[in-house]
Amino acid sequence: MNEYLTVSLHIPPKMWCDFQKSMVKSRMFNEEVIGFFFCQGHQSKHKIRYIPKTWVVPASDCYEHQSASGLVLKQHFHSYLLENHLQAGLDIVHIHTHAGGGVPDFSHVDDRYESEYAGFISSHFPTQPHLISGVFDENLQFGQFRIWDRTGQRFEPVDFCHSLFDVSNFQEVMNKTDLMFLRQKIFGSANQQLLHQLKVGLIGCGGIGSIFAELLGRLGVKNWVLVDPDKLETVNLNRMPGATKEMVQQQWYKVHYVKHLIQKIYPEDSCVQTIATGIESELSKQEIATCDLIVVATDNHLSRKTAQELALQYMRPLVCLGTHIEVKPDNTPRMYCRITVPPMGGGWCLMCGNIINLQRAALESAPLEMNQMAAGAGYLEGVNDPAVFWLNSICASTGVGVIHGMVSGFLNVDSGIDWIYEFPVNDWRKTNTEYLQTDNCYFCGMNGLEEVVENSDFENSEFENPDLIIW
Ligand SMILES: [Zn+2]
Ligand SMILES: [Zn+2]
């Protein structure tokens, strides 16, 4: 393990909560219990971040022995576990409890078994998975994690995060009162700090994205990755705050214009990275993957699909913003804005929730000539779609409110949200997200896969792994 890298384990809040409940259910009193996550590691500059793909909690009939002072799983259960869940590239997280409260220490027995197990899994599987182990109190409220090297000789501590944002190097540095944020002190100084540390990836810096950046910037967000391939045009000037004819004449990219907005708020301590390509470029994808939050505010379906795929792959919260104006046959306009936050870690997504149209996304990815043909035949939304500042502002403003609620904890987005505002009837509609839940979505189905395994699931099956050690 590289000593300059910090290692973190990031489990989405709802998944952690479901896991805790299953663990507590798998015993009678305060017996020790055990559960597993199978995680994908993602390495960025100074950090390796492990995010779960699946989890498994053995039911009480999977134990050979289970008491308040120790536990032994059935040999068959371990074979079942590794053969069914240890897919290529995944690492194992193993969590067990000790009786009592407070943060427990790993015992000498834990040290010995885990050391053997770490060596065993890395030598028996070609991908040499790592072992991360955790020990918690009996209610799974307090605990600690460590990661073993492949020889099972050494381990390093692992940061554990079970909130939406895995913000690294989170420190309380709010010793001097920043007058700029005095009027929002009521939301808590720790939350203000979190906003300062948050790195937001904004895909689409047009009519909605620019207002959004201005608003979220004023709330306290200083770190940005901006993605948009387009340049400012005169037709944009009806709805982009602070944009000028000079900028259009000088052919400013939209990403540079939004960077300019952020730097006006924070001339000294902002960090804004601009990428003047589409989200499909490798550079965009790489940089968006490092963001704590992904926001997509484009007018096409393909970039939204890509943003959702990245959010699922890297387990990041996603906020999707859009507006739409249409004119009814009697010439009265109907206007909509939509704010969608799919649940982090699966359940439903923009694709299975039909928030975006996959056919359109496919057309948008087609070569240019075909794209133009499709647009001519009315299959694609064009750049000439009607758009007004005030409607975009309702959308961007509500999106920022949702993020403020996610950061401060006054809005629960664990099951996702999908809000649609309609004007002039002045109606907010909230999609019942229970109807959006799907089990077998091609895009989000792999995430959030979970199970409580019972003895009957594996007792009759045959395994070819005779030298598996018993826990
Ligand atoms: Zn133990
Ligand atoms: Zn889905």
Q: What are phi and psi of 415, to 5 degrees?
A: -95, 5
- Whole-angstrom CA distances from 340 to 239, 336, 344, 417 are 22, 13, 12, 6
Q: Is the pLDDT of residue 248 over 60?
A: yes
Find the 312 Cα to ligand 2 centroid distance in Å.
Answer: 9
What was the pLDDT predicted at 38? 93
- Residue 308 confidence class, pLDDT cut points 50, 70, 90: very high
Query: Which is more confidently placed, 46 or 405?
Result: 405
Q: What is the pLDDT of residue 463?
A: 46
Say whether pLDDT at 24 is over 80: yes
Distance from first CA to last CA of the chain, Å, rounded? 25
Summarize the chain as % helix, strand, coil (round to 5). Answer: 35, 25, 40
What pLDDT is recorded for position 466? 38
Of the chain, the percentage scoring pLDDT greater than 70 comes to: 90
pLDDT in tens, 143-187: 999 999 999 999 999 999 999 998 855 555 555 568 999 999 999
Q: 50-71 pLDDT, tens per residue?
A: 999 889 999 888 888 888 888 8
Rounded to the nearest angstrom, the distance between the alpha carbon of 235 and the centre of ligand 1 is 65
- Domain 6-162+449-457 annotated CATH 3.40.50.1000: no
Show Cβ contacts of residue 359 under 8 Å, excluding neighbours closer than 6 positions: none
Over residues 433-460, the mean pLDDT reads 73
**Number of Cα atoms under 13 Å in the Cβ half of residue 56:** 21
Q: Give ∠ CA 162-167-171 in degrees, rounded to 5.
A: 110
User: In angstroms, rounded to a whole number, what is the distance separating the alpha carbons of residues 52 and 61?
Assistant: 25
> Considering every ligand atom, which ligand is closest to the CA of 98?
1
Q: What is the pLDDT of residues 361-386, one digit of tens each?
A: 887 777 767 667 766 666 655 556 88
Question: Which of 219, 437, 398 minimizes the C-alpha distance to 297?
Answer: 398
In percent, the amount of the chain with pLDDT more than 90 equals 66
CB-hemisphere CA count at 13 Å for 415? 10
Query: How many angstroms separate the alpha carbon of residue 170 from the centre of ligand 1?
Result: 29
Q: What is the pLDDT of residue 335?
A: 94
Tens of pLDDT, residue by residue over 196-212, are 999 999 999 999 999 99
Q: Which residue has the tokens 């590289």?
A: 2
Domain ranges of the chain: 6-162+449-457, 179-436
Distance (Å, rounded) from C-alpha 109 to C-alpha 67? 15
User: Between residues 440 and 336, which one has the greater pLDDT?
Assistant: 336
Q: Relative to the alpha carbon of 309, which ligand is closest?
A: 2
Does residue 467 carry a pLDDT above 50? Answer: no
Distance 10 CA to ligand 2 centre (A): 21
Q: How confident is the model at residue 78 (pLDDT cuts 50, 70, 90)?
A: confident
Residue 140: both structure tokens together: 């799974």
Residue 442 burial (CB count, 10 A): 11
Q: Which stretches within 266-419 are classed as H helix?
A: 282-288, 301-313, 358-364, 368-376, 389-408
pLDDT at 448: 47
- Range in 49-53, 82-86, 310-314 the model is least confident about: 82-86
3-class SS at 42?
strand
**In the structure encoding, which two tokens stand for residue 187, read together?**
């939301």
10 Å Cβ neighbour count for 35?
22
Which ligand minimizes its atom distance to the CA of 345?
2
Q: Where are the beta strands (DSSP E) in 107-188?
A: 131-136, 143-148, 155-161
Superfamily of domain covering 179-436: NAD(P)-binding Rossmann-like Domain (3.40.50.720)
Confidence of residue 431 (pLDDT cuts 50, 70, 90): very high
* Alpha-carbon radius of gyration of the chain: 25
Measure 31 CA to ligand 2 centroid, in angstroms. 37
How far apart are the CA of 137 and the centre of ligand 2, in A? Answer: 35
pLDDT at 441 over 80: yes
Cα(363) to centroid(ligand 2), Å: 20
**Distance from Cα 8 to the centre of ligand 2, integer Å:** 26
Distance CA 231, CA 179 (A): 35
Q: Quick check: helix, strand or coil at residue 409? A: coil
Which ligand lies nearest to the CA atom of residue 138 in the structure? 1
Average pLDDT score, the chain: 88
Ligand nearest to the CA of 351: 2
What per-residue confidence (pLDDT) applies to 29? 86
* Res. 131 pLDDT band, cuts 50 70 90: very high
Q: How far is the CA of 161 from the centre of ligand 2 (A)?
A: 24
From the CA of 349, the nearest ligand is 2
- Residue 124 identity: H
CA distance 394 to 324: 12
pLDDT higher than threshold 70 for residue 471: no
